[in-house]
Amino acid sequence: MSGQHFKEFPITWGMVIDVDKCTGCGACMASCQTENNINPQPDASNKLRETAWMVVFELGNGKAFPDHDVAYLPRPCQQCGNPPCVSVCPVVATDKNEDGGIVSQIYPRCIGCRYCVAACPYHARDFGWFDPVWPEGMEKTLSPMTSVRPRGVVEKCSFCHHRWELAKEAARAQGKNPDDLEEGAYVPACVQNCPSGALTFGDLKNPKHKVHELIKSPYAYRLLERLGTKPQVYYISRREWVRRLGDNHLLGA
Amino acid sequence: MGLDRRAFLGLVAGGAIGTLCTPIPWKLVDDAAIWTQNWSWLPKLPKGQIDYVTTTSKLCPAGEGLRVMRVAGQPVTASGNPDHPLSQGGVSALARSEVYMLYSPARIKSPMKKSGGRFEPITWEQATAELAERLGTAKGSVACVSGDATGTVNEVLSAFVGQLGSAGYFLMPSDATTAARGVKLMGGAGQAGYDFENAATVLVLGADIFETWGTSTRNRKAFAASRPVGQAPKTTYIYVGPLRNNTAAVCDQWIPAGSADLGVVALGIAWHLIKAGATSPAPGFEAFKAMVTGSFGPEDVRLATGIAPDTLAAVAKTLAGSKAPLVVTGSPFGQGLGAGPFIAGMALNLLLGRINRPGGVYALPELAAAVPGALGRAAMLDGDLPGFFSGVAAGKTPAPKALLVYDANPAYGLPETAAMTKALEMIPFKVSFASFWDETAAMCDLILPNSLPLERYDDLATPYGAGFCLYSLVKPLQKPVHDTRTTADVILAVAKKMRLALGYDTFEQVLRAKVATLAKAGGFVAKDVMPWQVAAGSPAPAPAGDLWKELQAGYAWTMVGQVMQTGLGFVPGVLAKAVRPAATPTEARAALLVAYAQLRTGTAVTGVPCQDLTTVPETELDGRTTCLRVNAATAKKLGLRDGATVTLTGAGGRCQAKVCFFESVINGVVAVPLGFGHTAFDHFSRGKGANSLSLMPLAEEPGTGLSTWIASEVTIA
Amino acid sequence: MEERKSHAAGGVGSFVLWTLIGFVGALVVGWVVFPKLLYSRREQPIRFSHTVHAAQGLDCVQCHHLGPDGRFAGLPTTESCAECHGEETGEDSPAGREIDRLVKDYVKTGAQIPWLIYQFQPDNVFFSHAAHKGFPCSQCHPDVAAMDSPPPYFENRLTGYSKDTMKMWQCERCHAAMGESNACYVCHK
């Protein structure tokens, strides 16, 4: 592509999303909102202006009643192995330079040019059009682990990277190796709270983690794979029409 | 030597070069950049020690145990408690927002009294004095509406109302009220409980088991456990209903059927089971068999519902061949189902021999009451609140002199809103204990705001849908944010003032007494062994030593309960009257209205949690208009264009909606979301969409007399 | 031409002199006056003496310890001070009056002492004390262990931060020297 090359790291944090178990309830979306200090938005029905890092989309197979089928697809940041957003950022506010492979987004460095918002094929990035406002007193419930963004900068899902930091600290306090965490010591808020078990998280390279085997399933696919973004989020569905939608094929083609 | 122009220029130049050699420009630029990063109006993050404490959710009907993160003692986020059977780590979008709701702008900040049409803040002394005085004059005719179906606070309230002279104690209608009436009519005893964890095949008739029905979070965990990722599922789930809702989206099969036809579908399946030789020793079987064979054959069912005979034959075969089938019946939107369809669905469980079996329906015993004179849960569930209000509005039933409204919003959350609000207006004295400014509180004369669950002691006992008896404690995690008090404590104090003996001074005493009775009932604290494992045959752990301590630590007391059935039967007489094919609308622009509910839009009592507005898709709310989901064929018949704004009329109400084509809605039906159309609460909830309940008229179910509103006819213009 | 020369009143010498005055003056303003203007000097709310408490036998980690979850406890809460200072002393000495102020204004009211933290970092920085366990505290923090009263706190009037707040390049330099990653997310949140 344009000079950016695929980066490999010893640890590769990845998510496996079972589309056949997602009921579309939005608990993952609500978990992300509260974990990452995203402010309540009264006019959230304008989806072009709202801020939501995790979004659940409704998919349909395009057929008429009664052959119609529905699926719900949670879409966090795909933490691409070859991120288009990183290659376009003029100030390196976003980079893929850390073991674990999480694409970082640094708010004080971002100048708000929105080039990355345009570059991301998954629409995973949100621009802060407005200053965040919390109802009086609600700022007491902010999580200490995610900074509050002013307007004018871009934000996106970070796989709850702060939870990894907390897990490493806990490992150090117990005298364990922070680079060899047990499965489940670090999970993002959405994965932790999903009541349907649709989300699984772990190190894709670690054979002791469930995701390592899950991604080998014949039903596993990634979104828009032909773009070469190499996302670290895999989806699994036993329904072929859902898998075909992953690459946005024209129906019947 | 004066300062001439050249010297002055030299001075300035020297100064400039000198300044460049000092920190001034470099530090100022750097600091200015930092200054732009720290606008004063952006909140700063809390600092302090992080710890985790437990409680239980009362705002979310799924009753999850919560694990709340605190920073320097202040609650910050709520997650599921992995040790709690109703959560197992999962949490709904509603329970997740519970901490934020402490600071909702919709909160009632102090006791309020209505004078001259407006509310004035008053002190608690004034409020309790006013309450005691007004209730004193209303003696003999005090009614109560409670939206808390699981708490011991109902014992306090019902004992209080009983001593004052009760005009009726009602729980807000839900699938629990339908089920209780159904079980009672069948001659059964106990609360219907569903053992999903041990079921192999689950037939869901209407009930939204993975979203708003019963213990939805726990149901989803049970579902997930039997469906390993990317592999063939170990269970089969079949959903029958008018719309592919959240539950149907993950089930293995969706059988489209009108919400008023669920009973017909159940008896249609019974026909196939009986044909294959199924029998039952339960009373009424012979007459039931005759009725089903005569009136619910495949052709009759096809004419009534449009379902092909092969479809139901296959379902019957799957159920009969399964080692643990389970049939669950409920309303697709959590209320309004008649007892007839419920009995029909339960008859299938009877026919398959699933009563009090692992993976089937357990008849759960009621836990012993702690407050003398309290109403039992069965008695509370027996009331028909919409029927009662309907009677009051029509002048057939005398209006109570006083009404207590606890954790309920009948002015919004009941069908036929026009009639319900008319009845409420006829009641001379109404007092609300709401925590948020809801539609009913706005109509009341006195408000004594309840502290939120995170600020008070409370409890949760065997919610409807649980497959086992359960008791979980709610404990206060912080002092009340506003001038609110725990209602149960207020009632106990007012009772004392009115010289009514309820037997306790504080609600915490009541809870301790309740826990003491539990310790005697047996059961165990669910830690390493969960109650469904005991139902499946694992040995039950020994009862806990200090039950109160375990409950405080966030664990739940559970018990595998089975109430022996002595008279549970098929009641074919009731079924013959109550289960009939629904009428199809004949008018050109009329369709059947079906609603669906989501936990993310809150309940009638919470309004839309401010954090959850971003979770509402544009297929549900577009701007300020709710979306009406209809398939293209139905839309063509009704003359509706995709994206057009239309007006729905029904039951004296009018609602606007935007047409959204969606093919997973059965023909002849339009689907609308519940939870919108608030005229109270805060700017996050108010003025968004329409309240679809206002379009639904009440109908009296033949054979049972229960008020139903399961399939309402609306005209669309 | 003579007219021109007569207008240059001071000549080259005056030019050079005034340039030097400007240059030196700017240096003085920049290095002496500017810091005084930029930073305001503040004192800690309570004149806490580390030497006195160390002499009592208190170990550093009794107040400044790593919790079981690995997070640094930071400065002790009013509750831990209250373990020893529960009641007013009534003494008239400066130390006695300071203790009484602690008890009256903080222990009895339950308020937390608003300590001014010399090293406080912005909200978007994540620093793990657990990861830096091996280093002496004084590598980054003023060595208050040997001080009888806390050093003054200089607050930058423009940014609100402390003069001693470490800047990013200081962390980066040590990370690079130790062979640790300087990836953004290692320190930012």
Q: Which residues of chain A make contact with B90, given a CB cutoff of 8 A?
A: 27, 193-196
Task: Give the pair of three-digit tokens for residue B218.
Answer: 């726990």
Task: Give the pair of three-digit tokens for residue B409.
Answer: 């919003």
Task: Give the pair of three-digit tokens for residue A220.
Answer: 């596993």
List the chains bordering chain A where 3 or more Cβ pairs fall under 8 Å.
Answer: B, C
**What pLDDT score was predicted for residue A1?**
45
C10 in B contact zone (CB under 8 Å): yes
Residue at token pair 């059964």 = B188
A22 in B contact zone (CB under 8 Å): yes
- Asked if pLDDT for residue B583 goes beyond 90, the answer is no
Say if strands A233-236 and A13-18 run parallel, antiparallel, or are unpaired.
Answer: parallel
Chain B contact probe: residue of A72, A134, A138, A213 with most B CBs at under 10 A = A138
Task: Give the pair of three-digit tokens for residue B107.
Answer: 């909160």
Q: Measured between CA atoms, how close is A130 to chain B, in angstroms? A: 12
How many independent structural domains does chain C possess? 1
Choose between A77 and A45: higher pLDDT.
A77
Q: What is the DSSP letter of C72?
A: B
Mean pLDDT along residues A68-81: 96
Judged on CB neighbours under 10 Å (0-12, 13-18, 19+), B716 is buried
CB B324 within 8 A of CB B200: yes
Task: Give the pair of three-digit tokens for residue A75.
Answer: 């879409």
Read off the pLDDT of residues B118-132 as tens digits, 9 standing for 90 and up.
999 999 999 999 999
| Cα A138 to Cα B436: distance, rounded to the nearest angstrom | 15
- Asked if pLDDT for residue A250 goes beyond 60, the answer is no
ipTM over 0.90: yes
Find, among B606, B672, B621, the residue nearest to B439 by Cα. Answer: B606
Q: Does domain B50-103 have CATH number 2.130.10.10?
A: no
CB B135 within 8 A of CB B142: yes
Of C25, C73, C74, the CB nearest to B15: C25
Mean pLDDT along residues A41-68: 93
% residues pLDDT > 90 (chain B): 92
Mean pLDDT along residues B440-461: 97
- Enumerate the H helices of B2-79 as residue ranges: 5-20, 24-37
Find, among B709, B604, B707, B712, the residue nearest to B386 by Cα. Answer: B707
Mean pLDDT along residues B325-344: 96
| Strand segments (E) across chain C | 39-42, 153-156
**What pLDDT score was predicted for residue A253?**
38
Q: Measured between CA atoms, how close is A193 to chain C, in angstroms? A: 21
Q: Do B244 and A70 touch (CB under 8 A)?
A: yes
- Asked if pLDDT for residue B277 goes beyond 60, the answer is yes
Q: Which residues of chain C make contact with A165, given a CB cutoff of 8 A?
A: 126, 128, 189
Chain pair A-C, CB pairs under 8 angstroms: 71
- Nearest chain B Cα to A29, which residue? B615
C62 in B contact zone (CB under 8 Å): no
Task: Give the pair of three-digit tokens for residue B295.
Answer: 């009136």
**What pLDDT score was predicted for residue A5?**
64
CB B674 within 8 A of CB B601: yes
Q: What is the DSSP letter of A77?
A: -
Read off the pLDDT of residues A151-182 as tens digits, 9 standing for 90 and up.
999 999 999 999 999 999 999 988 899 888 88
**Annotated domain spans of chain B:** 5-37, 50-103, 107-173+384-450+485-505, 190-364, 583-716
Quickly list DSSP for B624-662.
Answer: TEEEEEE-HHHHHHHT--TT-EEEEEETTEEEEEEEEE-
B35 in C contact zone (CB under 8 Å): yes
Read off the pLDDT of residues B283-326 as tens digits, 9 standing for 90 and up.
999 999 999 999 999 999 999 999 999 999 999 999 999 999 99
**What pLDDT score was predicted for residue C92?**
86
Provide Rg for chain C, Cα atoms. 25
Q: Establish if C106 belongs to a structural domain.
A: no
Q: Do C185 and A171 touch (CB under 8 A)?
A: no
CB B566 within 8 A of CB B282: no
Q: Does domain B107-173+384-450+485-505 have CATH number 3.40.50.740?
A: yes
Read off the pLDDT of residues C72-124 as tens digits, 9 standing for 90 and up.
878 888 888 888 888 888 888 888 888 888 888 888 888 888 899 888 899 99
Task: Count CB atoms within 10 A of the CB of residue B570.
Answer: 27
Instruction: Among B477-486, B632-641, C57-66, C126-135, name the one with the lowest average pLDDT.
Output: C57-66
**What pLDDT score was predicted for residue C55?**
87
Task: Count CB atoms within 10 A of the CB of residue A38.
Answer: 24
Burial pattern A118-127, b for ≥16 Cβ within 10 A else e, equals eebbbebbbb
- Asked if pLDDT for residue B240 goes beyond 50, the answer is yes
Q: Which residues of chain B make contact with C26, given a CB cutoff of 8 A?
A: 14-19, 21-22
Chain C contact probe: residue of B27, B45, B52 with most C CBs at under 10 A = B27
Mean pLDDT along residues A112-129: 96
Q: Establish if C18 belongs to a structural domain.
A: yes
Q: What domains are defined for chain A?
A: 13-245 (3.30.70.20)
Residue at token pair 């070859």 = A82
Q: Establish if C88 belongs to a structural domain.
A: no
Q: Does domain B190-364 have CATH number 3.40.228.10?
A: yes
Residue at token pair 């993160």 = B69
Mean pLDDT for chain B?
Answer: 95
**What pLDDT score was predicted for residue C144?**
84
Q: Does domain B583-716 have CATH number 3.90.870.10?
A: no
Q: What is the pLDDT along chain C (189 residues), one digit of tens a residue?
A: 445 554 555 678 888 889 999 999 999 999 999 988 999 999 999 888 888 888 888 888 888 888 878 888 788 888 888 888 888 888 888 888 888 888 888 888 888 888 998 888 999 999 999 889 888 888 888 888 888 889 999 999 999 899 988 999 999 999 999 999 999 999 999
- CB contact set of B117 (below 8 Å; sequence gap of 6+): none
Q: Do A170 and C124 touch (CB under 8 A)?
A: no
Q: Establish if C136 belongs to a structural domain.
A: no
Q: Establish if C13 belongs to a structural domain.
A: yes
Q: Establish if C24 belongs to a structural domain.
A: yes
**What pLDDT score was predicted for residue A252?**
43
Task: Give the pair of three-digit tokens for residue C90.
Answer: 């009534």
Q: Do A148 and B104 touch (CB under 8 A)?
A: no
Find, among C184, C126, C128, C124, the residue nearest to A147 by Cα. Answer: C124
Q: Which residues of chain C make contact with A146, given a CB cutoff of 8 A?
A: 189
Peptide bond into B476 cis (omega under 30): no
B213 in A contact zone (CB under 8 Å): no
pTM reported for the whole predicted model = 0.93
